Structure formats: structure tokens, C-alpha cells
Amino acid sequence: MPPFSPEVFDYYPPLTKVRNHFQSNIIHHMSLSAAANLAGYETKYFSAYFRHKVGIGFREWATRMRVCAAVERMQRENQTITELALAVGFRDVTTFERAFKKHTGHTPSYFKKHREKRLKNRE
């Protein structure tokens, strides 16, 4: 997996603006051109700029952000996999499950099942 630099979002204002907007509206799809417009750049330039500064492409970053949001929600809420997928902006469960496994190494149901076991062991 390519190196990923999340700290750049705090350093470059156009990236900060895109990240903040994305996080506030995670349920909605954000295209590369919409992100570029928000940052004040042309799409082609923004795509190269984003990849250079962040270390991964915009689409890959957006997917990682959605998976991270799903993991956070799983740790504090008890939602079905479908509810979770939709709540973090995936359009369908299959895509969510594939992305989740790619980024965490486990399926959402495996992750959820083991979360429940950990909670029971704490009691």
C-alpha cells in the first residue's frame, strides 16, 4: 500500500477545506471535480496535487476515510452492516464489504462479531 500522509491536511489549506467538507458530508458522494472546485483548482491539477501531497489518489483517500468512519461507528454503535455502509456514504453493501476488507484485513461482519466478543469480555 502506498504511503499515506494524513498530516498534510493540517498544513495545506486547500486540502484542509476538502477534508473538512468531506467529513461533514460523508454520506454524500464527492467527485474529484467537486473537490477540485472546493480547493480552487482545475480537476487535472488537483488530482496530481492531491496525489503528490497526500501520497494516494483522491478516490482511494475517500474510500479510506469512509472505512475509518465505519470502524469508528462500529466501536460505538450497533448498526447492521447495511445501515453502516449507507451511513458512511457507500452506495451498496458489496462495495463497502470489499473496501472494508481491503483496508482492515477483515470483513465488516468479522470485525463486528469480534467487537461484540471484546465488549462481553469487559463485563
Domain ranges of the chain: 8-122
Question: What string of pLDDT tens digits covers the 123 residues of the chain?
Answer: 456 777 889 999 999 999 999 999 999 999 999 999 999 999 999 999 999 999 999 999 999 999 999 999 998 888 899 999 999 999 999 999 999 999 999 999 998 887 766 555 555
Q: How far is CA 26 from CA 92, 113, 116, 121, in A?
A: 15, 25, 25, 32
pTM for the whole structure: 0.86
Distance CA 102, CA 119 (A): 25
Element (H, E) at 123: none
Q: What DSSP character marks residue 10?
A: H
Question: What kind of fold does domain 8-122 have according to CATH?
Answer: Arc Repressor Mutant, subunit A (1.10.10)
